Structure 1
Amino acid sequence: MLYVYAITADCAAGASSLLPEDGILPGVAVQHFAAGPLGAVASAVPDSVFGKEALQAQLNDADWTRARILDHQRVVSSLLPVATVLPLKFCSLFAGEASLADALATQREVLEATVARLRGAREWGVKLFFESPTRPVRTAEPVGAGSGLAFFRRKKEEQEFRAAAEAALDNCVAASHRRLAAHARAAVANPLQPPELHGHAGTMGLNGAYLVAAETEAAWRACLLELETAYAAVGARYVLTGPWAAYNFTGGGLV
């Protein structure tokens, strides 16, 4: 059984010698399988771990699954400097070399088109967070006959403040994604993550991924710096991640 990490093209000379020693499991070798202009990076894995029933039991172990996901990402990341990489999803398994070769041949046109779209570009992530906006300081109002009216006035001001703050944040999110996407080959706004997953202070407003070509990367990063300055007043904080293999732009990969 083969565990396949990624489809590759444009491999640099000696790229196979740069593959990590350990793959999806400790002691499991990583190999490159050539198939014309395309190739695949994979490991031979035991059925006792990755067979259908055995794998389901393993995936129920959160610590094991987390470690294997990190191993998968580690192997894929090692390929980025030496090849155009079409990363496959976690636990992409094939019966053997013949099955893998057949899949590569059957889907060659789709895979080559995807590789062409990814060639010369890297994926970057931008997570946008907002701290709670600061309310304007108000002077204390005297308690008296007009205190009821003052109460309703304060409630209205509070509602107007919240509405204005929400509008400012919505505008920041939309403008940020639009401007970053303008400097990218492709862009996607992924679902927002809960705090226990993203691990940052504040509320997430954008979880963007951007496929950025090498020749526009400097302009894209300059745009990000401009956004940080422009929206600092509304409590925006941008977190840059990457570069990553283009997980968000593979179009499904190999099936």
Structure 2
Amino acid sequence: MLYVYAITADHGPEDMEPLPEGILPDTPVWRIASGGLAAVASPVPDHTFGAEALPAHLEDVQWTRARVLGHERVVCALLPRATVLPLKFCTLFSGEEALRAALSAHKKTLEQTVDHLRGAREWGVKLFVEARGPDPRAPEPVGAGAGAAFFRRKKEEQQARAAAEAALDRCVVASHQRLAAHARAAVANPLQPPQLHGQRGKMALNGAYLVDLQAEPAWRACLSELERTYADEGVRYALSGPWGAYNFAGGGLVRA
């Protein structure tokens, strides 16, 4: 059985240098050429990655985390060496014959996707906002007219929250549009809950951007300008990458 990490093209001399260990400890990583493309894969045992065994292993959080990190380690090692079409975690084939058949069957689509990714890298930008509640120092109204003052304050707080939400919406739209203008392609992914992103504040943007290598300085300058523009509004940007272009890799590779 073969575990496949990515499809690659445009290989240079450095592509022959050893890659890190694969999805399991001491597992070699092979490059299986097919025309101008190659599949980067590792042999894995059926008793671990077979259809009957794999679901139980994936229920083990620590085991799965180690395998995801192993997958990403190989993909990241490929990025400086070739044009990389990363594949989904646990892309598996019964053997080299089945893998070559899939490469042949999907050759045109894979080549088109590689063309789309060539000369560009994926970057991630997450936008977080710190929640701002009412001023705790404001005294509670007392005496005559206290009831009216209480409801007036509640209305003002509601209006302030609505204005803050509208301002945040404008910030998110402007941020994504301006970053996308400097990118070859862009996508706004679903927002992550706090237990997943582990950051302070609420996530308001989870963007991914496919940026030409030559355009990266302008794209990074745009991000810095956004940080300065919204610095006083409780907004924080978190940059990550470069990554394998998972958000722009299309359907990847499936069995022929």
Match for residue 32 of structure 2?
33
Q: Per the alignment, in what secondary structure is the counterpart of residue 144 of structure 2?
A: coil
Q: Per the alignment, in what secondary structure is the counterpart of residue 144 of structure 1?
A: coil
Match for residue 69 of structure 1?
68
Letter in 2 for 1:108: K
Q: After superposition, what is the alpha-carbon deviation per residue over 1:43-67, rounded to whole angstroms, capped at 9, x for unaligned? A: 0111111111111121111110110
Q: CA deviation at 1:135?
A: 4.7
Matched residue count: 254
Does the Cα contact within 8 Å between 1:187 and 1:210 map onto a contact in 2?
yes
Letter in 2 for 1:176: S
TM-score by length of 1: 0.96
Match for residue 15 of structure 1?
15
Distance 1:33 1:65 in 2: 25
Q: After superposition, what is the alpha-carbon deviation per residue over 1:43-97, rounded to whole angstroms, capped at 9, x for unaligned? A: 0111111111111121111110110000000001000000000000001011111
Structure 1: which 4+ aligned runs deviate by more than 6 Å? 136-139
Match for residue 204 of structure 1?
203
Superposed, which structure 2 residues align to 1:1-255 within 5 Å? 1-20=1-20, 22-133=21-132, 135=134, 140=139, 143-255=142-254
Q: CA deviation at 1:208?
A: 0.6
Distance 1:43 1:141 in 2: 67
Q: Per the alignment, in what secondary structure is the counterpart of residue 53 of structure 1?
A: coil
Q: CA deviation at 1:138?
A: 7.7
Task: Report the RMSD for the aligned CA atoms in angstroms.
Answer: 1.5
**Residues 6 and 141 (structure 1), Cα distance of their counterparts in 2 relative to 1, 3 Å cut:** closer
Q: CA deviation at 1:16?
A: 2.6
Does the Cα contact within 8 Å between 1:16 and 1:31 map onto a contact in 2?
no
- Unmatched 5+ residue regions in structure 1? none
Distance 2:2 2:139 in 1: 71
Does the Cα contact within 8 Å between 1:87 and 1:245 map onto a contact in 2?
yes
Q: CA deviation at 1:247?
A: 0.4
TM-score by length of 2: 0.95
